[in-house]
Amino acid sequence: MARTTQEILTQTSHTENIRHLANQLTREYNELINATYGAIGTAITNDLATRIKSVVADLGLTCIELIEKLGLYQQNNHDYNLKHTVENLCQKVIEKVI
């Protein structure tokens, strides 16, 4: 996910690639959700399971916001405030993944 998000960050000037990268990020997040079910099921404590669920959900909310902004940016790629927002959201996703 970090690699895909980094690629989004470098491709903001090439909006034709953004849709593909947003779809890739969605697929990768879905894979993480599937892995999370197993991690929650085998967590040693309920606190750990709750923490895992919370971290993954928080990442998901940031990914949703990023994908929504990417859709807007793809329609209006001359909006530099929107580009800045996309870049900030990419950084947030990368920080949450790492």
pLDDT digits (tens, 9 = 90+) for 5-50: 999 999 888 778 899 999 999 999 999 999 999 999 999 999 999 9
Q: Residues 62-93: pLDDT tens digits?
A: 999 999 999 999 999 899 999 999 999 999 99
Considering the entire predicted model, what is its pTM?
0.91
Token digits for 41? 């099921």
Split into its structural domains, the chain has a count of 1
Predicted confidence at residue 15, as pLDDT, reads 77
Angle at which helix 46-75 crosses helix 2-10, to 10 degrees, equals 20
Among 17, 62, 27, 33, CA closest to 8: 17
Question: Which whole number is the average pLDDT over 44-59?
Answer: 96
The CATH number linked to 77 is 1.20.120.230
- Range of the structural domain that residue 65 is part of: 2-97
Predicted confidence at residue 61, as pLDDT, reads 98
Average pLDDT, the chain: 94
Residue 51 has pLDDT above 90, yes or no: yes
